[in-house]
Structure formats: structure tokens, C-alpha cells
């Protein structure tokens, strides 16, 4: 149950940033997607 809650939360954050829902359920992959998005956004803001 906790694993599913974490997946849904990360998917929600990705949806907020991209407007698209990822189709993976692997937490490691979801964290990787979120990390790339946050780093990309940070580099845009930092420039």
C-alpha cells in the first residue's frame, strides 16, 4: 500500500511538471524522471 502511494505521489508531481502521466510503475524509474525534470527546471531558473 505504501509503495502504491509513493508511486502515485511521484506520478502526480511529474504530471504537474509535464502535463503527462508516466506509464511506468517502477519507483526507481519514476524518481529518475522526476530528477531529470527538477534538474532541467533548476538549470533554466539558474540561467
Write out the chain's pLDDT in tens, 47 residues.
799 999 999 999 999 999 999 998 899 999 999 999 999 887 777 65
Cell of 37: 525534470
Query: What per-residue confidence (pLDDT) applies to 42?
Result: 78
Of 44, 4, 1, 26, the residue nearest 17 (C-alpha): 44
Write out the three cell numbers for 33: 524522471
pTM of the model: 0.81
**Confidence (pLDDT) at 33:** 96
Domain residue limits at 21: 2-46
Structural domain count of the chain: 1
Looking at residue 47, its pLDDT comes to 56
Instruction: Locate 4 and state its grid cell.
Output: 502504491
Amino acid at each position: 500500500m505504501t509503495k502504491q502511494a509513493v508511486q502515485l505521489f511521484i506520478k502526480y508531481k511529474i504530471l504537474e511538471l509535464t502535463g503527462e502521466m508516466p506509464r511506468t510503475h517502477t519507483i526507481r524509474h519514476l524518481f529518475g524522471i522526476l530528477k531529470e525534470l527538477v534538474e532541467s527546471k533548476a538549470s533554466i531558473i539558474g540561467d
